[in-house]
Structure formats: C-alpha cells, structure tokens
Amino acid sequence: MAVAVELTHVTKAFDTTLAVNDVSLKIEPGECFFLLGPSGCGKTTFLRILAGFYQPDAGELRFDNAVMNTIPPHQRNTGMVFQNYALWPHMTVAENIEYGLTLRKLAKTERQQKIAEVLDMVQMAEYGNRPVNTLSGGQQQRIALARALVIEPSVLLLDEPISNLDAALRQHMRDEVKQIHSRTNITTFYVTHDQVDALSMADRMAIMQDGVLVQVGTPREVYQFPKNTFVASFIGETNFIPGRVLNVSNGSTTIETPVGVLQSETVYHDLAPGAQVQCSIRPEAIHLGELQAKNRVTAKVAAVNYLGRMEEYQLVAAGIPLKAVHYDPGTEAKRPGDTVELAISAEAVIPLLD
C-alpha cells in the first residue's frame, strides 16, 4: 500500500557543511516525485535520509503517521535502485531478485511466484537462470528494478538509475519506469540531475540548491514559471536579457533592455518600477521572421546547427547571445552573418529578480 512521505524541518550536516538545510516536503501516496539539482547540492544525502542510511540531525521524517528518524533501513520497507545497480555478479538473475524475499522468510513456492511476476513486469521473463554478469547495462537496470519491486515496498527509491545508459536506451527505460509506476502505484522518489528524466516522468518535482529546496511543483509549473534564474537555467535551456522595469499593471510589465523595450504578460513576482530583472526567454519562444508578436528584436546569425527535425540558431542581439530553435526547418536556412527579425510573444518573456 502506498504511503505518504513527509519531512518537517529536516537538517543534516557534515562538519560545517549543511547538506540538507531545514527541508520540509510532503510526497503524496503513489506519487512519482523527482529531486533535481547539480552535483554537491545535497540530493544524495536527502535520498539516504529517506532510506535510513543517515539519521537527520534535526527535524522529523514520517512514512504516513510513523516517525522514521531512528528506524533502520531494513525495517522501512523501502526498495532502492542504485546508480551502479549493485547486483551480485556471482548470482543468477533469479537469485539476485530472490535475496530480499529470502530475508523475509517467504516460502519457496511463494518466492518463485513473485520472481516470475516481477520478471514478467520488467519484460525479462526468460532471463531468470542467466548469470547476471552476462547481461547488458539496460538488462541489469531492469533486474535491479525487479529486485527492488519484488519485496512490494511502500516507498521506491531511485538513485539516477538510468544515467549510465546510452541516449536511445534511456528513453526506452523512461517509458518502462513510467509504465511500471502506473501499474504498481508505489510512492516513488527519484534523484537525478537530468532534466529530461524529470520533465518526462515526474508527477511533481523539486529543485535543490545548496541543501535547500528552491522550488516544488509539476514539471509544467517549474518549466513555465521558474522561481528564479537558477531554476530557469537548470530546467531546460533559456536566454537571459537584463533589463529595468518601467511599469507594472495587472500582471503585465514593460522592461527597458539593451535589445529594446520588451513587453511581458507573465509577471508572477512582486515587481516595482526601477527593479533590475533578468528576462528569461526559452529558445523555442523566439521566432525568426514572424511578424505577429508584441516584441520585435533585430539580431545577427552567428551559427546554425541543423539537427534534422529542428535547427538551432546562435544569435547576437545588441551584444547579447541568444539561442532560438526552429522546428520543421525545411530546405532553406538563414546563414551566419544574416540579419534577422525576431518575434517574441509577451507571454514568453518572464522577468525574474535574480
């Protein structure tokens, strides 16, 4: 049965470094929740607190109504998939999966039934007797996931489990993990630095910086309405144009910038005339040669990268580098040195205070 995971003012320090700094968060039962952040931000420490490998120095961790601060890992009913899979190379696939069931003293027939069910779930039914060290990386990832799922955990913990796979296999495993989560409805906590994993798989996500949760929300909320420049630049690509607020009225503002005056209709921070801001504009929101937009910017093409289904344009406007993405490019492209007119909608200009 899925449980809620709740942290209340949890802190964990190592010497003078606050790895997790006064974090409060609730993960709903059955939710697939992602924690993202750069290396060293504290996300692995956060995961280890949930697993029971670390105890909080302050605050409280609960699974539903049970306080878990001092409960050892083997008593938490959590399943964990590590980045390096942590499979036993001298065992077969079935023996790896069976290990947790043996510790729980299940009967042999019940163990065999559960192993068959979970192998079928990860589409590895015919691999039970294979030595695990003969499997590919993607196959080992599935077995590590099966070993975590077979004990029917209340909480599934994933530590960048697909980061070692190639791009095509990563996409396939994203789909697999989503389907498995949909079928099992296990409360899942997934740690990664990969924004694509989070945007494509998460119900909700949190962005961590220096041990603090900077923003929590759905992938769409975090991408479209970032709290600050760190979040905007960490989740997806964006362009920043510095500016000064001229006026604010009913969720709209006019901003003086080096590329000209920009209109924004996506104001969700407290802005005042004279405030210095960074205007975040996603590359896909910059259109070349289209006239129907409130914001017009003249730029010069610095480089063009043809990527099949799209072209990436490296541009310079008033000395500020910009990136634009053009989907379905066709046969004609702008060339380096060309002067182009850019169209940017007012909804796509997001003024941020830092």
User: CATH code at 12?
Assistant: 3.40.50.300
- Asked if 243 and 177 sit in the same domain, the reply is no
- Asked if 12 and 158 sit in the same domain, the reply is yes
- Asked if 286 and 164 sit in the same domain, the reply is no
Domain boundary among 172, 199, 229: 229
- What range does the domain containing 276 cover? 238-352
- Asked if 208 and 259 sit in the same domain, the reply is no
- Asked if 124 and 54 sit in the same domain, the reply is yes
- Asked if 177 and 316 sit in the same domain, the reply is no
Which residues, including other chains, have CB under 8 Å from residue 228's CB and lie 6 or more apart?
Answer: 214, 215, 352, 353, 354
Per-residue tens of pLDDT for the chain, all 354 residues:
789 999 999 999 999 999 999 999 999 999 999 999 998 999 999 999 999 999 999 999 999 999 999 999 989 999 988 877 778 888 899 989 988 888 888 888 898 999 998 898 888 888 888 998 888 888 888 888 888 888 889 999 999 877 767 777 778 778 888 888 888 899 999 999 888 889 999 999 999 999 999 999 999 999 999 999 999 999 989 999 999 999 999 889 999 999 999 999 999 999 999 999 999 999 999 998 767 889 999 999 999 998 888 889 999 999 999 999 988 766 667 889 999 999 999 999 999 997
- Asked if 185 and 281 sit in the same domain, the reply is no
Nearest-angstrom CA–CA distance, 141 and 137: 6
Specify the pLDDT at position 170. 78
Specify the pLDDT at position 123. 84
Domain boundary among 229, 258, 285: 229
Beta bridge partners of 324: 313
Nearest-angstrom CA–CA distance, 219 and 202: 7
Count up the domains in the chain and report the number: 2
Q: Determine contact, residues 213/253, Cβ cutoff 8 Å.
A: no
- Asked if 19 and 39 sit in the same domain, the reply is yes
Give 137's DSSP letter: H
pTM for this one? 0.89
Give 77's DSSP letter: -
- Asked if 212 and 129 sit in the same domain, the reply is yes
- Asked if 210 and 317 sit in the same domain, the reply is no
Give 17's DSSP letter: E
Domain boundary among 203, 229, 255: 229
- Asked if 270 and 224 sit in the same domain, the reply is no
What are the angstrom distances between the C-alpha of 250 and each of 243, 254, 266, 274? 19, 12, 10, 17
Q: Determine contact, residues 2/185, Cβ cutoff 8 Å.
A: yes
Specify the pLDDT at position 217. 97
Output the domain CATH number for residue 257.
Answer: 2.40.50.140
- Asked if 116 and 154 sit in the same domain, the reply is yes
**Token digits of residue 131:** 């030595």
DSSP for 146-213?
HHHHTT--SEEEEESTTTTS-HHHHHHHHHHHHHHHHHH--EEEEEES-HHHHHHH-SEEEEEETTEE
